[in-house]
Amino acid sequence: MSLRELRTFVAVAEGGSFAAAAKTVGRTQSAITVQMKVLEDEFRVALFDRSNRPPTLTSVGRALLPHAIEAVAAYDRLFQVINDTTVEGHLRLGVVPSVMTGVMPKALKALRERYPALHVELAMGLSKDLVGRVQKGAMDAAVVSDFKLSNAGLRWSPFSQEPLVLITPLDAPAKKAEDLLTAYPFIRYSRHAWVGQLIDDFLKRRKIQVREAMVLDTLEAIRTMVHHGLGVSVVPQRSTDDASDLPVRTVRFSGPTTQRIVGVVQMEEHAKAALVDVLLDVLKREAAPGSGRIDRVAPRRPKRTGNGGDQT
């Protein structure tokens, strides 16, 4: 038995299903099923009543849960006593543009102040390209959005979620987002970006017809065009937008909210997984309170020393 199985067991209990736990810990549902079977074989008891859909905790499972929570918390506390200066090394990191100009500067500043011996080498690109570079070993990890766990050997750790909203010029009339979309020219986020595909799917599901005026590939360019009254756009509402941004009006859509999920992708059992865990902890803290931050990330807590050198 490992802490990983116990951590997953807690995620299943808190999420209410194997599917919910898979999203929380960044693994496939089949991998969660295997982990729980391993845990049951180790204890030689049934922790889940599989006659129910989704499976529910047995009496033994309910009795185990508080002890599992305590064990995981105690394990995590071990790392709080380690001196931060033991975190050192070189991390090659890819970042999508909207995060590079969003939460990443704050995260990098915090990393530099807290872990001066950790060097982060950055490269910017689209999610698909960055994931490919991680698979080839050209990068240690990448901060991307809306990654789907369909690639074997990859680990996905989401840390923030951002609702899709409509942005309009400041002088736009006080109407519903759907009405403004049809009244103004539409400035589209490029479909080459995964967030652009997410927005396109959102419009199709809502059956909203738009009059496309231009296609751009950065949030800053889109916001600039909207600010100057050239149209409206659908974009993720970042938690780090500040007073220095050009002012626009934000209008929420009616009905269920569609979220962009932002996280870190890396290869399973990567040599620099400990450094990626440090990065995830900082990204999670730097996501603004109340912004939809995802607090349960990075299920693995490997040793933080011994993997610090540049392994390019």
One-letter identity of residue 221: A
Contact 166, 232 (CB under 8 A): yes
Return the pLDDT at 303: 37
Mean pLDDT over the full length of the chain: 84
User: pTM of the entire structure?
Assistant: 0.65
Residues of the chain with pLDDT under 70: 1, 77-85, 149-152, 240-244, 288-312
pLDDT of residue 27: 83
Is the distance from CB of 154 to CB of 131 less than 8 angstroms?
Answer: yes
Q: What three-state secondary structure class fits 232?
A: strand
Provide CATH 3.40.190.10 ranges for the chain: 84-159+262-286, 162-259
Residue 302 confidence (pLDDT): 35
Residues in Cβ contact with 19 at an 8 Å cutoff, skipping those fewer than 6 apart: 29, 54
**Res 241: pLDDT:** 59
The rounded distance, in Å, linking the Cα atoms of 79 and 87 is 11
d(CA 122, CA 176): 40
The whole-number pLDDT of residue 290 equals 43
Residues 72-111: tens digit of each pLDDT: 888 776 665 554 557 788 999 999 998 998 899 999 999 9
Q: What is the pLDDT of residue 298?
A: 36
Q: Which pLDDT belongs to residue 129?
A: 92
Helices (H) and strands (E) in the chain, counts: 11, 11
Do 94 and 22 touch, CB atoms closer than 8 A? no
Best CATH choice for the domain 3-80 from the list 1.10.10.10, 3.40.1160.10, 2.40.160.10, 3.40.190.10: 1.10.10.10
Q: Which stretches does DSSP call E strand in 154-219?
A: 154-168, 185-189, 211-216
Write the DSSP symbol of residue 2: -
Phi, psi of 302 (to 5 degrees): -75, 170
Tell me which fold the domain 162-259 belongs to. D-Maltodextrin-Binding Protein; domain 2 (3.40.190)
Q: What is the pLDDT of residue 228?
A: 96
Partners of residue 142 on adjacent β-strands: 94, 265
What CATH number was assigned to the domain covering residues 84-159+262-286? 3.40.190.10
**Which residues in the chain are classed under CATH 1.10.10.10?**
3-80
143 pairs with which residues across the strands?
95, 264
pLDDT digits (tens, 9 = 90+) for 191-219: 888 889 999 999 999 999 999 999 998 88
Give 164's strand partners: 236
pLDDT of residue 143: 95
What whole-number distance in Å separates Cα of residue 168 and Cα of residue 172? 6
- Would you state the torsion angle of the CA atoms of residues 57, 61, 62, 67, taken in this order, to the nearest 10 degrees? -140
